[in-house]
Structure 1
């Protein structure tokens, strides 16, 4: 575990510039000594979130603590059943007080979002979760995300909120992943066992040697340790997102985050978030269907600053489903862009040439005004032919 001395031995470094961040808060920072939850450390983290909002930035919160809160509610009762079932029951009980804690500390409305790994593996559910979180951020709401432990049997057994936070960071196109725990940094060895271990401030790349420095779970309350934090940082780096590991129980460290400085470990990403996402969009396998657009839409999409709206669609070739990668071509069948379609081929045919405001009337529902959102699209030029 980190100490005050080791925290202040860490150099102060600048955080990468960010507009949207995912903040993961571990159970140890919320659990009270006598059971239940406490705002002792959470209040400083909430102040950091408020300061970020005041700077025009967006924060998505991934919070542990539901099981600890549920256990406190049943401290006078033995929880029966298997350990897994017991944890599911405790998670269900503890979600409400955990959300209530964050709402009591937040200057903005708080929205609870429960996810499973299945939600993030299936493209349609992935897009639904992505659209919901985008809308919450647009409405200036603080999303508080947790794994849906009550129903996600395999995920609860195998998953943890560190890795969930990394997946969410990619989901919402975050620029930075912040992981707050009771550990102040990555060490050269487990500091609980090796008193000569020293903190590492800067990790250019996560290698097997870096993983070897990580110990196991450091808490009887939480489910993750430094290894899961490095796993999360690896996932984030693959999406072009840097990760900052820091001690969330040190108020000075948390306050410094608001000024853009870090006392902790910064894990770099090899490229920018946009570079990583655009590369994936350009090279991921596409569905056999294609969307044909008119000249005006082709020019707007080629400039790289526009979404594809129904009015610009003139034809749909082949078949694809909501969430599939599709090629967008001009009248000469030259590839203009590739992206994730918000609607299936049958739906896009019905919407072709219509205004976005007509979507709900035409389909009876709406997934948004764009056929392909610009954040889910990469231009590829007009030199390639789709035929």
Structure 2
């Protein structure tokens, strides 16, 4: 691992490893992961742990509830989080810290930077950050939904060199290895495209929320930020020993040679669009620094309610997504100038107020 020159690792551990039998937390599968973390830290490499498992850990405390409605799952998360943290804490002889967050925290730039600062401060003081989605308070609007994608967002925020996503299989196969004996493991993925996503099956764990698809989504987020990403079998000690020997333990997703800039990566993969600006299907400006500015007469519609500084989606009328960008106008003002028949008035207002979106705050999207 020293030959790789890694300085910081993010490890994602799922619910099936934390509470495999729905009877509370178990250290059975966590010991090898903890030993790996100890050895890595002894080599001078920072570690950040993203750990699912609060709901699974607390489920056994609600034996009479068979419906597991949303309120009960939130209660399970509240009860199970302390048990999960206690289990991790007992495996280390150094201090750990808990960070609970929602997507609402990550997609707000100010809170996102605050999370970064907290992680760096903990690492500077030799404390292991353990992060999880705050299932007790999160809502559909505010949740990431799975810790695979959350781990990729955290890896970006933590300026990690590598993301390790623990799975119940050895990596990405060309078909489901649980149902096909001739399934072949892909040791290296240089480009994540539709053919890679087609290989992903559904979740195979009874207690987890993510399957192989969410792991590929996480890998796509991470590699675009220049982060080496591995999917490996977390139920075995062997993959972690292989990593220590500098070997590939599963499927290695190769990072982009030219990583996306941090603020553009945040806007593309973490920030959520609060609204939309719709342009005509014939709109052909790439919205980059070399293009002309987006003008009011090119706007067909403004959808959603957003304020100055919010992230918005710019798309064509046919649904093609062009870019995510920071809006310099509120939805109210944009709707007003977009509906003006007097272009001179709209252009004068735009000239006085500035561009609708700045070329410094645009994340171009592949047409999708």
Give TM-score scaled by structure 1 length. Answer: 0.65
Partner of residue 338, structure 1: none
1:191 counterpart (177, 182, 189): 177
When residues 192 and 32 of structure 1 are mapped into structure 2, their CA distance, relative to the original with a 3 A threshold, is: closer
Distance 2:21 2:253 in 1: 31
1:65 counterpart (39, 53, 67): 53
1:268: how far off? 0.8
1:182: how far off? 1.3
Gaps of 5+ in 1: 1-12, 285-320, 325-387
Aligned partners of 1:14 and 1:261 also within 8 Å: no
Distance 1:184 1:222 in 2: 17
Distance 1:72 1:131 in 2: 36
Aligned partners of 2:8 and 2:160 also within 8 Å: yes
**Which structure has the higher relative contact order (CA within 8 Å, separation 6+)?**
1
Partner of residue 244, structure 1: 230
When residues 280 and 113 of structure 1 are mapped into structure 2, their CA distance, relative to the original with a 3 A threshold, is: same
**Pairwise mapping of residues 176-187 of structure 1 onto structure 2 (< 5 A)?**
176-187=162-173
1:32: how far off? 3.9
Aligned partners of 1:15 and 1:262 also within 8 Å: no
Q: Does 1:228 align with 2:214?
A: yes
Partner of residue 357, structure 2: none
Partner of residue 210, structure 1: 196
Partner of residue 42, structure 2: 54
Q: Does 1:276 align with 2:260?
A: yes
Aligned partners of 1:24 and 1:179 also within 8 Å: yes
Q: Which moved more, 1:84-93 or 1:212-221?
A: 84-93
Give TM-score scaled by structure 2 length. Answer: 0.68
2:81 counterpart (62, 85, 95): 95
Partner of residue 97, structure 2: 111
Aligned partners of 1:189 and 1:197 also within 8 Å: yes
When residues 156 and 84 of structure 1 are mapped into structure 2, their CA distance, relative to the original with a 3 A threshold, is: farther
Aligned partners of 1:130 and 1:172 also within 8 Å: yes
Distance 1:140 1:181 in 2: 27
Deviations 1:89-128 (A, max 9, x none): 1111100000001000012101010011111111111111
Distance 2:41 2:242 in 1: 15
Distance 1:51 1:104 in 2: 16
1:277: how far off? 2.9
Partner of residue 33, structure 2: 45
Partner of residue 130, structure 1: 116
Partner of residue 283, structure 2: none
Gaps of 5+ in 2: 269-307, 312-368
SS in 2 for 1:187: coil
Partner of residue 278, structure 2: none
Distance 1:112 1:323 in 2: 29
Distance 1:34 1:221 in 2: 8
Distance 1:259 1:219 in 2: 29
Deviations 1:162-210 (A, max 9, x none): 0000000001110110001211110001122322211111101111001
Distance 1:70 1:216 in 2: 24
Distance 2:110 2:79 in 1: 29
Aligned partners of 1:14 and 1:262 also within 8 Å: no
Aligned partners of 1:65 and 1:98 also within 8 Å: yes
Deviations 1:364-383 (A, max 9, x none): xxxxxxxxxxxxxxxxxxxx
Distance 1:122 1:182 in 2: 33
Partner of residue 147, structure 1: 133
Distance 1:323 1:16 in 2: 38
Partner of residue 65, structure 2: 78
When residues 55 and 66 of structure 1 are mapped into structure 2, their CA distance, relative to the original with a 3 A threshold, is: same
SS in 2 for 1:23: strand
